[in-house]
Structure 1
Amino acid sequence: MTSYKETLDYLYAQLPMFTRVGASAFKTDLHNTIALLDKLDQPQHSFKTIHVAGTNGKGSSSHMLAAIFQQAGYKTGLYTSPHLLDFRERIRINGQMVPEDFVVDFTEQMRTHITDIQPSFFELTVAMAFRYFQQEAVDIAIIEVGLGGRLDSTNVITPELSLITNISYDHKNILGDTLPQIAGEKAGIIKAGVPVVISETQSEVQDVFINTANALNAPIHFADQEWMEASGAIESNHFTITLLDTRQQQMRRLQLDLNGRYQEKNVMGVLSAVKILQQNGWHITWDHITQALSHVKKLTGLRGRWEVIQRHPLTVLDVGHNEAGIREVMQQLGHVNYQQLHIVVGFVKDKEVEKVLPLFPPTAHYYFCKAQIPRAMDEVALAEMAAASGLQGHAYASVQAALQAARQHAQPDDMILVCGSFFIVAEVM
């Protein structure tokens, strides 16, 4: 009998994994995914889905939607990536991770097909999720795109609704080096006749979405034209926001347990999506929405989004890792009071680090480090690049050593921010 650990070792060893090795693991067509799902009799068509893409905010938006459906009494699947601590975080039902036994049994059953088809780690994980959601007869599953959209392994579903959060530069080596090109890849999840919500209107790319939606006869909604922020305030552990529903001229007040100011755009997308789903017969009340959004972490297990792990010094983890994500994190810092800022940071090699570094404050003390994966950027090289951008600090061979140094230097009224990569945050956890 194979153990869960042996199964994971086999998957990590056998299958190319984007999060570890980068672009070489990304497949440029859906052949493998379709071949795997054929062996399983197409489980993805046996339950309802919502498909979520975007450069930033797709994870938070997926978790918010899952929380709302859960709160409304629906058996809700949630597929996200990457994971922080345990592989099973990627596949959940009503917040509970897929059992270890299922991962072991599924992998055993698929071993000969794995040898024949040679899927990537992500392709196999998608098939595993769809099989699990089918077996457990979920009412709906929220499916987060891994990378891009058009060629992503998840793009084999016909959802109830597609949600695209925003477009910014990330994975340019794969998705293209202009925003319209990247938007074109994300727009690949729009399906014929299926409504699509765009969380954030961006002038450079809105025509890409409008043209794609029109060609497919898909009703399109821009959430930030349907909602306006009337007021917003950040408390220590939640974010209170009042929104005006511009169509019904009605004020709506929400308290989010995801307390990053940047969640405001995500929540508008989620609310516009829910409104369409309500019209299409899903029984979701405003009470379900307010309850769910104040307990997303508890309901779905979301972590690493402006997550406070200590008060003195204030220590915050955030998985922001690309230009737009880091910009949002830096704006959030403007809402915090502290004496001195300490930033523990590391990146993966294929990020455009030279574009991101100028966004960081030159007054902070830096602790440059690298996660224990092949794709991680060398900490000394990072420190040198940062120095060229006017950022001063020291390099540390591990995330733990960097965090320890930050804790030794920080006073009780200081702040420690850990960011730059999912893998840096995971190692702190």
Structure 2
Amino acid sequence: MAAVGTTASANLAQEPAAAAVVPQATAPLTNSSLYVGDLDREATEAQLFQAFSQVGPVASIRVCRDAVTRRSLGYAYVNYNSGLDPTAAERALDALNYVELLGRPMRVMWSHRDPSTRRSGVGNVFIKNLDAAIDNKALHDTFAVFGEILSCKVATEPNGRSRGYGFVHYEREESAALAIDKINGMLLEGRQVSVSPFVHRAERNAEGPRFNNIFVKELAPEVSSEQLRELFERHGKVMSALVAHDEEGRSKGFGFVTFEDPASAAAAVAELHESEQWGRRLYCARAQKREERDNLLRQKHEEARAERMARCAGMNLFVRNLSEDVDDDALRAEFAPYGTISSAKVMSEGGVSKGFGFVCFSSQDEATRAVTEMNGRMISGKPIFVALAQRKDVRRAQLEQQYAQRLAMGSAGATRGPLAGPGG
């Protein structure tokens, strides 16, 4: 992957913010706007200006940020002065799309502020079963031969790993139809890809999830794969049926059934889920990949955690600098004089205290009193710190706000140039 620019951009990440000052335009502004996505969260207007000003006269640059934390959202808008250079934005799109900034390839495309273009779905193609080696640029290069592409994106995990599917949005519906006709079923990097018209989530949900593979559990020990097949064959053509066994040949109590078509699979689940078979109440559901199950479990864990935090809001205390000999019971005993405690927990790893914990009271008044009385109290020879517990994102936002305020106070009176020119 190419890096931004040649010599001037070699030190892109080290340029100070003042480098983003844009010269005042001398001609009337008719901006050509580009959307720049997949940015590193540390990328600044200054660094983007250095990259995009190499192509033409930049009128303004804006990195979009969270309204509360002011952290970058990972995308920006770059506006060129088309009055001075009518083709600058088009050249930047050609020259800088997928070029690296701070080690990450930028995704550059025309800015469509009118959401109707994006939401219409016209010209939008969905590609699945992509090899992990195919990134945004490789996908773009493959599909660009069929027409003008408005946007191209491979879906990724937070760690950057491909999720095996992506989207290409064409300017013209005819280009999308041609791409589907030519690429669907082809081998890309050794894998046969599926290419189809994009269907909005709302429409997919209205139809219900489509699947061929079924996960079955609560099977009696004596049930064989052939018996499992016979049970499900009443609902359609079964391609395979397998009961899982351990190394000694004993049933693990679950199995998988694959139908030829999704309609049969859906009918089987509707009919057999929680039905009595071989003296057991069966569980039947769409088979999920391990990654999908892990994501679902993670989501449920986060929802349960958020629910606990909401239930204990204003009543849950964070206690740190605990001695290693302070356990759950000792922590509860120390705070018991201040009210009714619903839970007291010292966090540990491998049976060793991590030096902090949480105490949840039944009322906010009790929690407030405990903070007042216990903060700084000596326990087992160490002064403890006690405060109301906060979610990580709330605490991070407060710390960042305090840091920004200190920076503002420290630079009071200093003159700093703007990061962007008119229209930013």
Structure whose residues are more often helix by fraction: 1
Larger RCO (CA within 8 A; separation ≥ 6): 1
Band of TM-score, shorter chain: under 0.3
- Which structure has the larger Rg over C-alpha atoms? 2
TM-score of the pair, normalised by structure 1: 0.23
